[in-house]
Amino acid sequence: MTATLEENSTLGILSDLIAFDTTSFRSNMSLIDYVVSYLDRDNIQVEVIKNAEGTKANLFATIGESQNPGIILSGHTDVVPVEGQNWATDPFKLRIEDNKAFGRGTCDMKGFIASVLAAVPKMAQENLACPVHIALSYDEEVGCVGVRHLIDFLKHKNLEVEACIIGEPSSLKPVTSHTGKHVFRCAFQGTAMHSSLAPGGVNAISYAAGILSEINYLEKIAESYVIDDTRFEYPHPTINIGKITGGKAVNIVAEHCQFDVECRYPPGSSPTFFTDALPGIVKTMAHEPMYLKSPAAYASCEQVTEYPAFEGDFNSPAAQLVRRLTGSNGDYAVNYGTEAGLFQTSGYSSVVCGPGDINQAHQPDEFIELSQLSACDKMMDTLIREFSLEEVSA
């Protein structure tokens, strides 16, 4: 396969998209502006929905005049950080090698967005039987933040939708089910003291350790909530304590400690054994005894983010559409999360199907196979054919 970075080709657009550093803690406005002016060439109707601060935006575009329920092609514009990762080359400069395109976001998920945008001029030329909507969100990687405003916006418009394709990397397999997630931050404020006088201080790490061991116990409990779905690698809720900080030196009673913990759960199971329990455990096992020792000491437990599990349906309009477009008859479930659960629970028939392998997402030297990009281009061509009125009547 010869790689071409030709303007307006999928790879050409991907190269442009990768060059925008849209790490979630930065603004995505430059990418949004780029897409607005790209779509403007075909006179596509575009709406930009900014966040309250005006620093980030969702984008919603509609191709076609038809009043029939439409198809949403959905993607997130943000990427995960490259900090602390060892990249062979600049993560924000597309590199083609070994039939792969390397760069932050190639797989997750600017490859899909590039393929969709490359198909826009063709879509614009057709007389489509139903409108094709492009929905781009911000801050997916930090808890599906932007898409919630985007969905509110769609609800407000009373948009009628036949199917919503979330183009997250699934190796173009139709995914109709994935886990939901709740993330909590537990913070412990003790009182510092020279360690030789340790009993007189309140050690934040010691109290945090007590909570961590309770969480380890809950992790065992989680394994007993097994659902009857063999598609999941782990068909039960899972818990991960992903980050911890605290303390200054071994000879100081630790004043601070903080950790982040998540609970993921497949549809059909409930996270409440964890989400309902954790704040109470922190209160009774840390906050109350800490406060008793010193009114300056306390412990807190806050939910930082959450998104729902996605429970689609093999026979839903979205899953049927993607099976027709890809020729894949499978019905897959994955342990990672996407915006699909939010679309689905808002009443939009959804399916996850996009190019690239999730194993390459979030990694240093993230890449997407060029064959996955061309397969996605083919999926877009099939979508255009499927909804082209000329083809239907021929």
Catalytic residues: 78, 140
Residue number with the smallest Cβ distance to Zn ion: 108
Residue 144 found at the interface with Zn ion (CB under 5 A): no
**Applying CB under 5 A, which part among 28-36, 163-171, 174-182, 224-232 lies near Zn ion?**
163-171
> CA nearest 310: which of 139, 74, 104?
74
What are the start-end ranges of the E strands in the chain?
A: 45-50, 57-63, 70-76, 95-97, 100-102, 132-137, 161-166, 175-178, 180-189, 238-246, 256-265, 298-307, 310-311, 332-334, 350-352, 367-369
* Binder of Zn ion out of 108, 139, 255, 331 (CB under 5 A): 108
Q: With contact defined as beta carbons under 8 Å apart, do 79 and 23 qualify?
A: yes
Least distance from Zn ion to the Cβ atom of residue 307, Å: 12
The pattern of x and - marking residues 164 through 203 that bind Zn ion according to CB under 5 A reads ----x-----------------------------------
Report the residue number, 16 or 108, with the smaller CB distance to Zn ion: 108
Report the residue number, 108 or 311, with the smaller CB distance to Zn ion: 108
Report the residue number, 81 or 121, with the smaller CB distance to Zn ion: 81
Report the residue number, 283 or 362, with the smaller CB distance to Zn ion: 362
Gap between the Cα atoms of 339 and 344, Å rounded: 9
Residue 366 found at the interface with Zn ion (CB under 5 A): no
Residue 31 found at the interface with Zn ion (CB under 5 A): no
Name the token pair of 93: 């400069």
Report the residue number, 108 or 255, with the smaller CB distance to Zn ion: 108
DSSP calls for 293-362: H-TT-EEEEEEEEEE--EE--TTSHHHHHHHHHH-----EEESS--THHHHHHTT--EEE--SS-GGGTT
Least distance from Zn ion to the Cβ atom of residue 262, Å: 16
# binding residues, Zn ion (CB under 5 A): 3
Least distance from Zn ion to the Cβ atom of residue 147, Å: 11
Least distance from Zn ion to the Cβ atom of residue 85, Å: 16
* SS3 label, residue 42: coil
Gap between the Cα atoms of 286 and 298, Å rounded: 8
Question: Which residues lie near Zn ion (CB under 5 A)?
Answer: 108-109, 168
